[in-house]
Chain A
Protein backbone atom coordinates (compact mmCIF):
# COMPACT_ATOMS: atom_id res chain seq x y z
CA UNK A 1 0.00 0.00 0.00
CA UNK A 2 0.91 3.65 -0.27
CA UNK A 3 3.24 4.94 2.43
CA UNK A 4 3.11 8.40 3.92
CA UNK A 5 5.64 9.58 6.46
CA UNK A 6 5.53 12.50 8.85
CA UNK A 7 8.32 14.18 10.71
CA UNK A 8 8.70 14.79 13.54
CA UNK A 9 6.46 12.36 15.37
CA UNK A 10 6.68 14.35 18.61
CA UNK A 11 7.31 18.03 19.24
CA UNK A 12 7.48 19.85 22.54
CA UNK A 13 8.07 23.56 22.23
CA UNK A 14 7.76 26.78 24.13
CA UNK A 15 4.89 29.15 23.57
CA UNK A 16 5.65 31.65 20.82
CA UNK A 17 7.90 29.43 18.75
CA UNK A 18 7.11 28.10 15.30
CA UNK A 19 6.99 24.44 14.47
CA UNK A 20 7.31 22.87 11.04
CA UNK A 21 5.86 19.45 10.28
CA UNK A 22 6.77 17.57 7.13
CA UNK A 23 4.57 15.13 5.28
CA UNK A 24 6.03 12.93 2.55
CA UNK A 25 4.51 10.41 0.21
CA UNK A 26 7.23 7.81 -0.11
CA UNK A 27 6.16 5.59 -2.98
CA UNK A 28 3.70 7.65 -5.00
CA UNK A 29 3.17 11.16 -6.26
CA UNK A 30 0.49 12.87 -4.26
CA UNK A 31 -1.50 15.37 -6.23
CA UNK A 32 -3.34 16.37 -3.10
CA UNK A 33 -2.34 16.41 0.52
CA UNK A 34 -4.62 17.07 3.42
CA UNK A 35 -3.88 18.31 6.92
CA UNK A 36 -6.05 17.26 9.81
CA UNK A 37 -6.12 18.03 13.47
CA UNK A 38 -7.39 15.58 16.04
CA UNK A 39 -8.09 16.23 19.70
CA UNK A 40 -8.11 13.31 22.15
CA UNK A 41 -11.01 10.94 21.59
CA UNK A 42 -12.42 13.08 18.83
CA UNK A 43 -12.74 12.76 15.11
CA UNK A 44 -10.46 14.13 12.44
CA UNK A 45 -10.99 17.77 11.63
CA UNK A 46 -9.83 18.85 8.20
CA UNK A 47 -7.72 21.98 8.37
CA UNK A 48 -6.70 22.48 4.78
CA UNK A 49 -6.24 20.87 1.41
CA UNK A 50 -3.15 21.48 -0.62
CA UNK A 51 -2.42 20.75 -4.23
CA UNK A 52 1.10 20.69 -5.56
CA UNK A 53 2.23 24.08 -6.78
CA UNK A 54 -0.83 26.00 -5.68
CA UNK A 55 -2.06 27.72 -2.56
CA UNK A 56 -3.73 25.65 0.10
CA UNK A 57 -7.48 25.80 0.60
CA UNK A 58 -8.30 26.31 4.23
CA UNK A 59 -11.41 25.16 6.01
CA UNK A 60 -13.65 27.74 7.57
CA UNK A 61 -12.31 28.89 10.91
CA UNK A 62 -8.72 27.83 10.25
CA UNK A 63 -6.32 30.78 10.22
CA UNK A 64 -4.10 30.60 7.18
CA UNK A 65 -1.55 32.95 8.71
CA UNK A 66 -1.36 30.73 11.75
CA UNK A 67 -1.07 27.44 9.92
CA UNK A 68 1.17 27.91 6.91
CA UNK A 69 1.01 25.14 4.36
CA UNK A 70 3.42 24.62 1.53
CA UNK A 71 3.14 21.87 -1.09
CA UNK A 72 6.30 22.41 -3.06
CA UNK A 73 6.49 19.03 -4.76
CA UNK A 74 4.37 15.99 -5.49
CA UNK A 75 5.91 14.17 -2.54
CA UNK A 76 6.25 16.84 0.13
CA UNK A 77 3.92 19.13 2.01
CA UNK A 78 4.76 21.10 5.13
CA UNK A 79 2.61 22.59 7.85
CA UNK A 80 4.11 25.35 9.96
CA UNK A 81 2.36 26.30 13.16
CA UNK A 82 3.47 29.87 13.69
CA UNK A 83 3.79 31.43 17.13
CA UNK A 84 2.42 28.31 18.76
CA UNK A 85 0.34 28.58 21.91
CA UNK A 86 -0.82 25.90 24.34
CA UNK A 87 -4.22 25.72 22.64
CA UNK A 88 -2.42 24.60 19.47
CA UNK A 89 -1.36 21.42 21.24
CA UNK A 90 -2.92 18.59 19.31
CA UNK A 91 -2.33 15.60 17.06
CA UNK A 92 -1.68 16.76 13.50
CA UNK A 93 -2.10 14.19 10.76
CA UNK A 94 -1.48 14.53 7.07
CA UNK A 95 -2.89 12.37 4.34
CA UNK A 96 -2.18 12.09 0.67
CA UNK A 97 -4.09 11.01 -2.36
CA UNK A 98 -3.70 11.01 -6.11
CA UNK A 99 -5.99 11.12 -9.08
CA UNK A 100 -9.37 12.76 -9.26
CA UNK A 101 -12.24 12.76 -6.82
CA UNK A 102 -13.11 9.88 -4.54
CA UNK A 103 -9.63 8.47 -4.19
CA UNK A 104 -8.58 6.89 -0.98
CA UNK A 105 -6.52 8.94 1.42
CA UNK A 106 -3.38 7.45 2.93
CA UNK A 107 -2.50 8.82 6.30
CA UNK A 108 0.83 9.62 7.82
CA UNK A 109 1.61 8.48 11.37
CA UNK A 110 0.82 11.90 12.79
CA UNK A 111 2.70 14.47 14.82
CA UNK A 112 1.91 15.14 18.44
CA UNK A 113 2.51 18.76 19.31
CA UNK A 114 2.72 19.96 22.89
CA UNK A 115 3.15 23.67 23.45
CA UNK A 116 4.24 24.65 26.92
Chain B
Protein backbone atom coordinates (compact mmCIF):
# COMPACT_ATOMS: atom_id res chain seq x y z
CA UNK B 1 0.00 0.00 0.00
CA UNK B 2 0.90 3.66 -0.15
CA UNK B 3 3.62 4.74 2.25
CA UNK B 4 4.62 8.23 3.23
CA UNK B 5 7.93 8.62 4.97
CA UNK B 6 9.47 11.60 6.66
CA UNK B 7 13.00 12.35 7.75
CA UNK B 8 14.38 13.18 10.16
CA UNK B 9 12.24 11.85 13.00
CA UNK B 10 13.66 14.40 15.41
CA UNK B 11 15.60 17.59 15.04
CA UNK B 12 17.11 19.77 17.75
CA UNK B 13 18.17 23.22 16.60
CA UNK B 14 19.40 26.36 18.26
CA UNK B 15 17.02 29.26 17.94
CA UNK B 16 17.89 31.15 14.78
CA UNK B 17 19.11 28.10 12.88
CA UNK B 18 17.31 26.78 9.84
CA UNK B 19 15.34 23.53 9.75
CA UNK B 20 14.20 21.24 6.96
CA UNK B 21 12.00 18.16 6.96
CA UNK B 22 11.66 15.89 3.97
CA UNK B 23 8.68 13.84 2.89
CA UNK B 24 8.71 10.97 0.42
CA UNK B 25 5.82 9.00 -0.96
CA UNK B 26 5.94 5.53 -2.47
CA UNK B 27 3.35 6.65 -5.02
CA UNK B 28 2.75 9.76 -7.09
CA UNK B 29 0.53 12.19 -5.25
CA UNK B 30 -2.17 14.45 -6.60
CA UNK B 31 -1.32 16.87 -3.83
CA UNK B 32 0.63 17.07 -0.60
CA UNK B 33 -0.55 18.65 2.61
CA UNK B 34 1.42 19.78 5.63
CA UNK B 35 0.18 19.93 9.18
CA UNK B 36 1.72 21.14 12.42
CA UNK B 37 0.96 19.64 15.80
CA UNK B 38 2.11 21.52 18.88
CA UNK B 39 2.98 19.47 21.97
CA UNK B 40 -0.27 18.40 23.59
CA UNK B 41 -2.28 19.80 20.71
CA UNK B 42 -3.93 18.59 17.55
CA UNK B 43 -2.80 18.79 13.91
CA UNK B 44 -3.41 22.12 12.26
CA UNK B 45 -3.48 22.47 8.50
CA UNK B 46 -0.63 24.56 7.13
CA UNK B 47 -0.73 24.29 3.36
CA UNK B 48 -1.57 22.21 0.33
CA UNK B 49 0.64 21.91 -2.75
CA UNK B 50 -0.86 20.68 -5.98
CA UNK B 51 1.39 21.47 -8.92
CA UNK B 52 4.59 19.70 -9.87
CA UNK B 53 7.57 21.76 -8.70
CA UNK B 54 5.36 24.14 -6.76
CA UNK B 55 6.93 26.34 -4.11
CA UNK B 56 4.88 28.25 -1.57
CA UNK B 57 5.97 30.50 1.25
CA UNK B 58 4.35 31.42 4.51
CA UNK B 59 6.57 33.97 6.24
CA UNK B 60 9.62 31.94 7.35
CA UNK B 61 8.21 28.64 6.06
CA UNK B 62 8.92 27.45 2.52
CA UNK B 63 7.11 24.44 1.13
CA UNK B 64 8.16 22.61 -2.01
CA UNK B 65 6.53 19.87 -4.07
CA UNK B 66 8.85 17.74 -6.17
CA UNK B 67 8.76 17.62 -9.94
CA UNK B 68 7.71 13.97 -9.86
CA UNK B 69 5.06 14.74 -7.21
CA UNK B 70 6.45 12.05 -4.94
CA UNK B 71 8.38 14.18 -2.51
CA UNK B 72 8.06 17.40 -0.65
CA UNK B 73 9.97 19.51 1.83
CA UNK B 74 9.32 22.10 4.47
CA UNK B 75 12.05 24.57 5.29
CA UNK B 76 11.94 26.97 8.20
CA UNK B 77 14.33 29.89 8.15
CA UNK B 78 15.68 31.23 11.43
CA UNK B 79 13.67 29.03 13.76
CA UNK B 80 11.92 30.47 16.78
CA UNK B 81 10.70 28.75 19.92
CA UNK B 82 7.16 29.09 18.59
CA UNK B 83 8.09 26.70 15.77
CA UNK B 84 8.35 23.82 18.24
CA UNK B 85 6.09 20.93 17.36
CA UNK B 86 5.72 17.98 15.05
CA UNK B 87 5.36 18.59 11.35
CA UNK B 88 3.45 16.02 9.34
CA UNK B 89 3.12 15.70 5.62
CA UNK B 90 0.12 13.86 4.24
CA UNK B 91 -0.87 12.61 0.85
CA UNK B 92 -4.29 11.52 -0.39
CA UNK B 93 -4.94 7.91 -1.14
CA UNK B 94 -5.94 6.88 -4.62
CA UNK B 95 -9.63 6.76 -3.82
CA UNK B 96 -11.68 8.94 -1.56
CA UNK B 97 -10.36 11.81 0.50
CA UNK B 98 -8.47 9.79 3.06
CA UNK B 99 -4.98 10.91 3.87
CA UNK B 100 -1.88 8.90 4.56
CA UNK B 101 0.27 10.71 7.08
CA UNK B 102 4.01 10.60 7.28
CA UNK B 103 5.62 9.69 10.57
CA UNK B 104 6.24 13.34 11.37
CA UNK B 105 9.34 15.30 12.24
CA UNK B 106 9.53 16.57 15.77
CA UNK B 107 11.26 19.92 15.97
CA UNK B 108 12.77 21.14 19.21
CA UNK B 109 14.23 24.63 19.42
CA UNK B 110 16.68 25.65 22.12
CA UNK B 111 16.35 29.29 23.11
Residues on A facing B (Cβ under 8 Å): 1, 32, 34, 41-44, 46, 49, 93, 95, 97, 99-110
Which label, helix, strand, loop or mixed, suits the secondary structure of the A interface? loop
Smallest CB gap from B45: residue in A: A104
Q: Does B97 contact A (CB under 8 A)?
A: yes
Cα A93 to Cα B35 with chains together (Å) = 14
B46 to chain A: closest CB distance in Å? 10
List, sorted by A's number, 10 A–B pairs whose CB atoms are closer than 8 Å: A32-B96, A32-B97, A43-B103, A44-B43, A44-B101, A46-B99, A46-B100, A97-B97, A105-B45, A107-B44
Q: Does B48 contact A (CB under 8 A)?
A: yes
Contact A49 B98 (CB under 8 A): yes
Contacting residues, chain A, for B100 (C-beta < 8 A): 46
Contact with A along B84-111 (1 / 0, CB 8 A): 0000100010011111111110100000
Q: Does B52 contact A (CB under 8 A)?
A: no
Contacting residues, chain A, for B33 (C-beta < 8 A): 104-105
Cα A106 to Cα B45 with chains together (Å) = 7
Contacting residues, chain B, for A41 (C-beta < 8 A): 106
Contacting residues, chain A, for B42 (C-beta < 8 A): 93, 107-110
Contact A43 B101 (CB under 8 A): yes
Cα A97 to Cα B101 with chains together (Å) = 16
Contacting residues, chain B, for A109 (C-beta < 8 A): 41-42
Smallest CB gap from B44: residue in A: A107
Contacting residues, chain A, for B31 (C-beta < 8 A): 102
Cα A34 to Cα B35 with chains together (Å) = 16
Instruction: Tell me the B70-89 residues at the A interface (CB within 8 Å).
Output: 88
A-B contact sample (12 more), CB < 8 A, given A46-B100, A107-B44: A41-B106, A42-B103, A42-B104, A44-B43, A44-B101, A46-B99, A97-B97, A99-B97, A103-B97, A105-B99, A107-B35, A109-B41
Smallest CB gap from A104: residue in B: B45
Q: Does B26 contact A (CB under 8 A)?
A: no
Contacting residues, chain B, for A105 (C-beta < 8 A): 33, 45, 97, 99
Smallest CB gap from A49: residue in B: B98
Cα A33 to Cα B45 with chains together (Å) = 16
